[in-house]
Chain A
Amino acid sequence: MFKNVYNWIDERLDVTPIWRDVADHEVPEHVNPAHHFSAFVYCFGGLTFFITVIQILSGMFLTMYYVPDIINAYASVEYLQTQIAFGQIVRGMHHWGASLVIVMMFLHTMRVFFTGSYKAPREMNWVVGMLLFFVMLGLGLTGYLLPWDNKAYFATKVTLEIANSVPVLGPIIKEFLQGGTIVGAETLTRFFALHVFFLPAVLLVLMVGHFIMIRRQGISGPL
């Protein structure tokens, strides 16, 4: 039954080569933690992806309740946190996951750096990886404001002041992020849009590039 459905689709869309590109490849022994326990350091990239998936899923559930305006934002987060079944867990996962994904990405970056895996022919993949890191920091920054509590508000104010101090571009960046002369309603909607639409879109595009490059270039050899 399942095979018939698969064959029916495959005849029309020729999906087997895609599946082969994604999944059908060998993994060498030196990155396999089952063979060498120390090879767990090669798992950090996969774990970053795993936590990113958790972030996307938990974030999707959070937007079912979150209201991005200054009157209701805090109230909606508080309601989610205290009244909704499992709301505290889902928000907790998104909150702690944001830190964990940074930790995992940091460890992954260090592994790649200290094993010299960014060397030719993998230079471009390192650059894309660093861009992923910056986008992830941007997601952390924009997500921090969304609960609209005092901590979020004052941290964002300071961040925008720091952005403002960059010569020439600073005031433009600040105005773009702030959407006006004060941190207020417009800032919250802008950060929300960046956090749930713009930055995740960039993140996904970069991730696809990252993965295609890994598959094209293969895993770097043992040291």
Chain B
Amino acid sequence: MAHGNNSKEKVVFVGDSRVRKGNGFITPPDYTSYPGKSEAFIPNFLLKEWMVGVVVLVGFLALTIAEPAPLGFPANPSASVIPMPDWYFLFLYQYLKLPYASGSYIVLGTLGVSGVAFGSLLLAPFLDTGSERRFYRRPIASSLMILSLIATIYLTNSAWTHYKAEMAETGQISEDIQREEKAAENKAKGLPTSSATKTKEIAIVDKEDPAMESFKKAGCISCHAADMKGAGGPSLRGVGDKHDKAAIAKIIKEGYEGKMPPQYDNAIAAGLTDKDIDHLAEWLSKQKAEK
């Protein structure tokens, strides 16, 4: 159609606008000044690029099959997990832990050094303006980049080493491995393998009972929340499935596995009688999930 490449063509305007009628959107660049043999992008060159792509694709799929994507346990704000960003953020994460990039120097860390580093990377062509392209003839640009690369690799490595050491110290195993082991165990026993939280809400039994008042008065709600769903401490809805009345009374008097301090004295101080506490324990033991 009317898209010739003849530059001597008379300038033609489109309709009544002042838009010049051009010869296509992009003029193919001329590589005749480059040495060697150039070839057509489609199909000749694309085939070669596809061959490189296939090698990458095979490696990628082999990795995908050999190593399933990790999945841990459902997010639980009260779990104790060592926070770990994805590996390509580790250098930044580790850098912001350095003494002169954290605490009261955090602005130096986030805006100062990181800002300058990423800003100069973004604007590199306007900082390195000489016409020389070979890296060994651009010592400043090249050495700055190599230094940043070394720093990035060093920081990534130390972040990973610290993480591994911390995991070993606290005796933690990565949650995705735990989940897989648990699923395999449950599968062997014929139990459901899912780790997803059950979404069915357990109702409070006998909400109007005076024990509810004692529950609030004795300060239980500061950890177990006014709706008994738990805050700092666990949810008490359905607690009767786990402990009977005697066990609950004992927990109130003596605390629970070092996680909950004894609450008996607090309850007495809040004006509860032994009878109230006994009734509270009885009421809590009635908190069972509907079957």
Contact = CB atoms under 8 A, between A and B. Distances in A.
A118 B125 contact: yes
Contacts, number: 260
Nearest to A169: B111
Contact of A123 (B29, B31, B125, B145): B125
Contact of A114 (B142, B175, B195): B142
A87 B291 CA distance: 33
Contact of B3 (A17, A51, A120, A141): A17
B45 to A, nearest CB: 4
Given A75-B196, A100-B60, A222-B35, A153 B77 contact: yes
A146 B287 CA distance: 34
Main SS class of interface, A: helix
Given A20-B24, A120-B131, A150-B75, A155 B83 contact: yes
A100 B106 CA distance: 31
Contact of B83 (A115, A158, A215, A220): A158
B11 interface: no
Interface size class of B (residues with CB under 8 A): 35 or more
A50 B64 contact: no
Given A20-B24, A78-B194, A152-B75, A28 B68 contact: no
A32 to B, nearest CB: 6
B194 A26 contact: no
B56 A47 contact: yes
Interface of A: 10, 14, 16-18, 20-21, 23-30, 32-35, 40, 43, 46-47, 50-51, 54, 70-72, 74-75, 77-78, 81-82, 88-89, 91-100, 102, 110, 113-120, 122-123, 126-127, 130-131, 134, 137, 140-141, 144, 147-155, 157-159, 162, 165-167, 170, 182-183, 212, 215-223
Closest 4 CB pairs of A and B: A29-B36, A116-B133, A218-B29, A95-B69
22 contacts: A21-B24, A24-B41, A26-B29, A27-B31, A28-B34, A29-B39, A32-B39, A75-B197, A96-B69, A116-B128, A116-B132, A118-B125, A127-B125, A140-B86, A150-B74, A150-B75, A153-B76, A153-B81, A162-B93, A167-B111, A218-B29, A219-B31
